[in-house]
Structure 1
């Protein structure tokens, strides 16, 4: 897997908006999109039917799989990144219907971290995403 994001546009954030003022839910919203695009790109080759793409991507973007990915990355994270995870976990309110609350919080934490790193450090984001153990492409 490449460690860069050639297909992603450079992040845009207003220079006078400190990243600490961006709500964790907004970071998770952005992180969810970045994560899904990363996963979609990872399964693009070899060519296959759309349903096969969909099935592989859905298996990776499910909250349970995101929680697994987060647990695998924890030993690699810095203190500031762990703080971002806490912000994301605390922002994960509501009552998910399909998964347990702790799994939902872990998935939201991962998305928050991805959104944060997308806005602040693309190299670090690429490094961490490259560490994810994705299921082999069928």
Structure 2
């Protein structure tokens, strides 16, 4: 499906050494694709309805809550990625977000980006299944 992306190769060692904000940067996009695809599959009628439903998944407080739910399902390596993402200095926190929620959301997006860049798609799918089964 994404043949071009398969041709892009980033060495595993380089991925592991990246700044967690880079993981979060790509993770935000990947997560958004999962959320939008999931919501469309559930039969949203208008773009407004789709947007309103996606907020349940993508706002900082929602991602913070999701992270709390899945933490016990994560490996030690994944929990270390979460810690690195949470502890990375961020430069801009939206006015409507609490600092802790924003840091945890960044950590969550970092995990998604990390798994994606390492092409661990099966694990990414597994984590997303936990999320979509748990958030109703």
If the length of structure 2 is used for normalisation, what is the TM-score?
Answer: 0.85
Q: Distance in 2 between matches of 1:79 and 1:63?
A: 23
Q: Does 1:37 align with 2:36?
A: no
Give me the whole-angstrom Cα distance separating, in 2, the residues matched to 1:55 and 1:11: 35
Match of 1:102 in 2: 100
Q: 2: distance between equivalents of 1:127 and 1:114?
A: 11
Measured in 1, the distance between the counterparts of 2:61 and 2:7 equals: 27
How far has the Cα of 1:13 moved from its partner? 3.3
Map 1:7-22 to 2 at 5 A: 9-10=5-6, 12-15=8-11, 18-22=14-18
Distance 1:42-1:118 versus aligned 2 partners, 3 A rule = same
Distance in 1 (CA, whole Å) between partners of 2:64 and 2:58 is 10
* 1:73-102 Cα shifts (integer Å, max 9, x gaps): 100111111110111011242352211111
CA RMSD of aligned residues (A): 2.1
Point out where structure 1 has 5 or more consecutive residues left out of the alignment. Answer: 1-5
Question: 2: distance between equivalents of 1:83 and 1:16?
Answer: 16
Write out aligned runs for 1:113-124 (5 A): 113-120=111-118, 121-124=120-123
The aligned length equals 130
Structure 2 CA distance for partners of 1:95 and 1:22, relative to 1, 3 Å? closer
Matching residue of 1:49: 46
Q: TM-score, normalised by structure 1?
A: 0.84
In structure 2, the gaps of 5 or more residues are: none
Structural mapping, 1:71-86, within 5 Å: 71-86=68-83
The separation in 1 between residues aligned to 2:60 and 2:34, in whole angstroms, is 16
Q: Which has the higher helix share?
A: 2
